[in-house]
Amino acid sequence: MSQTSKEDITLVFVYSKDFMERVIRNLINDPCFCQSCGLYCESCKYNAYSFVRNIRAAIELPSPAELPAFIDNPEEYMPRKLPQADICLTSGLHKDLLLELPYHISKAGIKALIAPIEDWQEVPSGVRKQVEEKCMALGLECAFPKPFCTLEPEKDKPTISRFIEETRVGRPLLEISTAKIGKDEVIEYAAVIRSAPCGSTWYIARKLAGVSTRKDVLYDAIAKAHHSYPCTATMATDPETKEPILHIGGFTIREEVEKALEKDRARKLKEKNLLSN
């Protein structure tokens, strides 16, 4: 997983603030990154993958708090040169810099832009629509997952779909096995097939082992793990979804756990039917 070929997806990060650094550290599988389990760490993800060779550059720009409210010449603050890559990932930029970014990545030969929205106030719907229009005019694929862990492949976005497939990040995907203990059904293990880009799915999966699948118990365990990692999406209510974005992230992982449980039950039922025939 640490070696790349000419066909492997290549990435450039242009960001401000801390969120995108979490994504980068998860993708490179920094051994000092996930400290959630403390002394109880079993190193469940280390040596499992590393995409450090896929990253062509990680460029941090001044945060919005360090810049004027309105920037007349945003190109002055942009990177002088970007390396050629497949995708640019961005987060936390001043709105005027975000609006300028499509031109710069297009000139560098970059094919797609992913701008996850963890805080709707950073990327209001009007700004997002303007960036989408600029990307369309320049022939760039673009995605604005709200939050990042809702990103899914789309047929008309092959480069972004490759990113999801090759790095195995985006909307979480789990494989779960259950067992009966008395009358109770409990989770034996939860394996991560695809993780939230911040890496939280690995932590949540570990915390699900031994948990009852009874909905009240299961939902409480998922919510506690999701908050404890912690999820950094905003708790401010998003005007479009009418939900805090943090809640959307929590609902997403809960739905994926339920889907994995349904698949496990269907598999066991199929096996039972085969044995009885």
Quick one: average pLDDT of 89-114? Answer: 97
Does residue 6 belong to any structural domain of this protein? no
Q: Which two tokens stand for residue 186?
A: 């409990």
Please check whether residues 132 and 192 belong to one and the same domain. no
User: What global pTM score does this model have?
Assistant: 0.93
Pick from 190, 166, 159, 197: which is nearest to 254 by CA?
Answer: 190
Query: Which of the 8 DSSP states describes residue 168?
Result: T
Cα 198 to chain centroid distance, Å, stands at 5
Arithmetic mean of pLDDT over the chain: 94
- pLDDT reading at 6 higher than 70: no
Does residue 1 belong to any structural domain of this protein? no
Please check whether residues 101 and 25 belong to one and the same domain. yes
* Residue 54 near residue 12, CB atoms below 8 Å: no
Dihedral pair phi/psi, residue 217, rounded to 5°: -70, -45
Among 135, 167, 199, the domain-final residue is 167
User: Per this entry, what is the length of the chain?
Assistant: 277
Please check whether residues 85 and 99 belong to one and the same domain. yes
Please check whether residues 154 and 111 belong to one and the same domain. yes
pLDDT for 146-171, tens place per residue? Answer: 999 999 999 999 999 999 999 999 99
Give the CATH number of the domain where residue 110 resides: 3.40.50
Cα 49 to chain centroid distance, Å, stands at 16
Please check whether residues 162 and 232 belong to one and the same domain. no
Please check whether residues 74 and 192 belong to one and the same domain. no
User: Domain total for the chain?
Assistant: 2
Query: Which of the 8 DSSP states describes residue 169?
Result: B
What are the residues whose beta carbons fall under 8 Å from the beta carbon of 186, sequence distance 6 or more?
Answer: 178, 179, 180, 210, 211, 212, 213
Output the CA–CA distances (angstroms, integers) from residue 67 to 90, 124, 173, 195, in the order listed: 17, 18, 39, 34
Query: Which of the 8 DSSP states describes residue 213?
Result: -
Does residue 3 belong to any structural domain of this protein? no
Please check whether residues 32 and 52 belong to one and the same domain. yes
Query: Which of the 8 DSSP states describes residue 17?
Result: S
* Residue 22 near residue 232, CB atoms below 8 Å: yes
Please check whether residues 158 and 66 belong to one and the same domain. yes
Pick from 228, 233, 223: which is nearest to 197 by CA?
Answer: 233
Please check whether residues 177 and 158 belong to one and the same domain. no
Please check whether residues 68 and 194 belong to one and the same domain. no
Among 125, 148, 167, the domain-final residue is 167
- pLDDT reading at 43 higher than 70: yes
Among 110, 141, 167, the domain-final residue is 167
Query: Which of the 8 DSSP states describes residue 3?
Result: -
- Provide the domain limits for residue 66: 11-167
- pLDDT reading at 2 higher than 70: no
Please check whether residues 163 and 260 belong to one and the same domain. no
Please give the share of the chain, as a percent, with pLDDT higher than 70: 97
Please check whether residues 187 and 205 belong to one and the same domain. yes
